[in-house]
């Protein structure tokens, strides 16, 4: 009897669970992420696994830091490195068809011609095709919208990367057309005696807003620009005063503020442009804008919507040869008469501060600025300069160049030619 009792006591003793060990195991698992280890795993093994995972994390972090440091070093080195050769990495032949030019749109390019538009991926492959007939097609782009319009005719077509957004018939010959970030199209059209600024929504419907200017009084419009939100318009005019040609810049507002203004004009500038021709106007953001005249640059602020102000004037020391815009920056190339250099390039901020001045020599007829690079091209020759003023490459690219864009890593670029897209690496 006594023996039976002792046996039962021993059985109960064997069944007793050490609760302190359980709690310790669970705590370790929570802190170390080793909960997949069994409850019976020895503490020594659990400790080794914890040390292993901790060491692994340290190795991964160290590798990421090293990779980041290498990328930074390579980027900085490449920023100031120059090249005199290039290597052709790939080439994609384009399908047959006429070509006027390319314009960047979305993650690809809009190829436009007299008989239609094609949207291409960065590698040159077709995404969609749209047909039209135009005699003198020109383009304008803003945000996700691009338009193709026929100068001297009445047709405008609006696109996004997904295809045609709208088709517009202006009724009168087009002088110029632009598009806002919201897709609102502004067209400058004319008849024998007057010019009209007309507005169309992103579906092509004519809006109940228009501006009429008489050629005999107000002058001839040379350029128009629309604010990012589509509520304000900037226009430049040339008019005859006596025997002298004068310039004029006019600000219009289509919000509630401009509703009570005559012809929605909130500001006009005449005296600043005596004997000067205003060729370009541009909104740099919703407040700041610029007028490019034959005698220099004029920076305006519309902080007070009802009363825009001229905040800075930069007089041109020599003739302005070319202008390019990217975001809030302006690139202006002036003629240089020194023996060593024939051009001087400036990059200005939206308020007219000088961000870069660079003298250089070369020949070009087109300037483009995109993503930290300035591209000056003529036929097969290119000058590629970064916005730090370093000329990365100057010379032939063995193809008639329409456009160059940055691609790939470090010194990689894509060149858009007449009949193909080609990827190159500067060497």
**Cα–Cα distance, 392 to 256 (Å, whole number):** 49
The end-to-end CA distance of the chain, in Å, is 98
Could you tell me if 323 and 367 are in contact, meaning their C-beta atoms sit under 8 angstroms apart?
yes
Return all residues near 231 (Cβ < 8 A) that are at least 6 apart: 253, 254, 255
Angle 59-60-63 from CA coordinates, rounded to 5°: 85
- Establish how many alpha carbons lie within 13 A of residue 248's alpha carbon, considering only the half-sphere containing its beta carbon: 19
Give the residue among 106, 216, 233 at the shortest CA–CA distance from 178: 233
123, 135, 364 from 116: Cα distances, Å: 20, 11, 28
The pair of structure tokens assigned to 254 is 């289509």
DSSP state of 151: B
Q: What is the pLDDT of residue 97?
A: 73
- Dig out the tokens for 424 from the structure: 């190159």
Closest CA to 212 of 232, 224, 233, 198: 198
Cα(200)–Cα(183) distance, rounded to whole angstroms?
A: 9
Residues linked to residue 395 through DSSP beta bridges, in sequence order: 382
C-alpha of 353 from chain center: 20
Give me 83's structure tokens: 């090249």
Q: Is the sign of the CA dihedral 412, 418, 421, 427 positive or negative? A: negative
What Å distances lie between residue 225 and 54, 164, 178, 235, 289, CA to CA? Answer: 59, 23, 7, 6, 9
- How far is the C-alpha of 287 from the C-alpha of 228, rounded, in Å? 9
> Could you read off the pLDDT tens digit of each residue along the chain, which spans 427 residues?
545 555 555 554 555 444 444 444 444 443 444 444 455 556 665 555 666 567 777 777 877 776 666 566 656 556 678 999 999 999 999 987 789 999 999 999 999 999 999 999 998 999 999 999 999 999 999 999 999 999 999 999 999 999 999 999 999 999 999 999 999 999 999 999 999 999 999 999 999 988 999 887 788 999 999 998 889 999 999 998 888 889 999 999 999 899 889 889 999 999 999 889 999 999 999 999 999 999 999 999 999 999 999 999 999 989 999 999 999 999 999 999 999 999 999 999 999 999 999 999 999 999 999 999 999 999 999 999 999 999 999 999 999 999 999 998 889 999 999 999 999 999 9
Q: How many helices (H) and strands (E) does the chain have?
A: 3, 32
Contact yes or no for 392/386 (Cβ under 8 A):
yes
> In this structure, what DSSP letter does residue 205 have?
P
CA distances from 403 to 130, 181, 304 (A): 21, 23, 39
Which helix (H) or strand (E) segment holds residue 249: the answer is strand 244-253
Q: Are 378 and 363 in contact (CB under 8 A)?
A: yes
Note the pLDDT of residue 216: 79
Question: pLDDT value at position 65?
Answer: 72
Cβ-in-10-Å burial (0-12, 13-18, 19+) of 323 comes to middle
Query: What is residue 263's predicted lDDT score, i.e. its pLDDT?
Result: 87
- How is residue 67 written in tokens? 């990779």
| 164: CB partners within 8 A, 6+ apart | 130, 157, 158
Phi-psi region of 352 (alpha: psi -120 to 50; beta: other; left: phi over 0): left
Give the C-alpha separation, 253 to 283, whole Å. Answer: 13
């Amino acid at each position: 009897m006594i023996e039976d009792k002792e046996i039962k006591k021993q059985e109960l003793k064997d069944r007793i669970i050490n609760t302190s060990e359980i709690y310790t195991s669970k705590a370790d698992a929570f802190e170390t992420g080793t909960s997949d280890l069994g409850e019976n795993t020895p503490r020594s093994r659990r400790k080794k696994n914890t040390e292993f995972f901790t060491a692994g994390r340290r190795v991964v972090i160290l590798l990421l830091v090293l990779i980041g440091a290498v990328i930074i070093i390579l980027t900085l080195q490449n920023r100031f490195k120059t090249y005199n050769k290039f290597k052709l990495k790939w080439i994609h032949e384009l399908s047959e068809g006429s070509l006027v030019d390319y314009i960047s749109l979305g993650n690809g390019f809009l190829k436009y011609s007299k008989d239609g538009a094609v949207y291409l991926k960065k590698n040159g492959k077709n995404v969609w095709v749209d047909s039209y007939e135009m005699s003198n097609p020109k383009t304008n782009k803003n945000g996700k919208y691009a338009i193709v319009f026929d100068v001297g005719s009445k047709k405008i077509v609006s696109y996004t990367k997904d295809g045609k957004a709208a088709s517009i018939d202006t009724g009168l010959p087009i002088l110029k057309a632009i598009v806002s970030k919201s897709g609102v199209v502004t067209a400058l059209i004319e008849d024998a005696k007057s010019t009209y600024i007309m507005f169309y929504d992103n579906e092509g419907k004519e809006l109940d807003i228009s501006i009429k200017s008489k050629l005999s009084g107000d002058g001839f419009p040379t350029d128009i620009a629309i604010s990012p939100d589509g509520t304000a318009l900037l226009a430049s005019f040339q008019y005859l005063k006596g025997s002298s040609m004068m310039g004029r810049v006019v600000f219009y507002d289509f919000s509630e503020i401009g509703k009570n203004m005559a012809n929605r004009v909130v500001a006009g500038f005449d005296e600043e442009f005596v004997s000067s021709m205003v060729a370009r106007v541009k909104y740099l953001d919703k407040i700041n804008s610029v007028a490019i005249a034959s005698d220099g640059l004029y920076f305006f602020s519309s902080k007070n919507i009802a009363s825009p102000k001229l905040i800075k004037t930069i007089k041109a020391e020599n003739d302005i040869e070319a202008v390019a815009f990217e975001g809030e920056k302006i690139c202006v190339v002036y003629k240089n008469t020194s023996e060593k250099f024939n051009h001087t390039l400036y990059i200005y901020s939206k308020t007219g501060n000088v961000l870069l001045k660079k003298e250089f020599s070369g020949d070009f007829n087109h300037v483009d600025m995109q993503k930290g690079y300035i591209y000056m091209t003529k036929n097969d020759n290119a000058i590629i300069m970064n916005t730090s003023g370093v000329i990365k490459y100057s010379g032939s690219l063995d193809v008639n160049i329409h456009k160059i864009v940055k691609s790939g890593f470090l010194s990689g670029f894509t060149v858009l030619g007449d009949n193909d897209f080609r990827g190159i690496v500067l060497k």
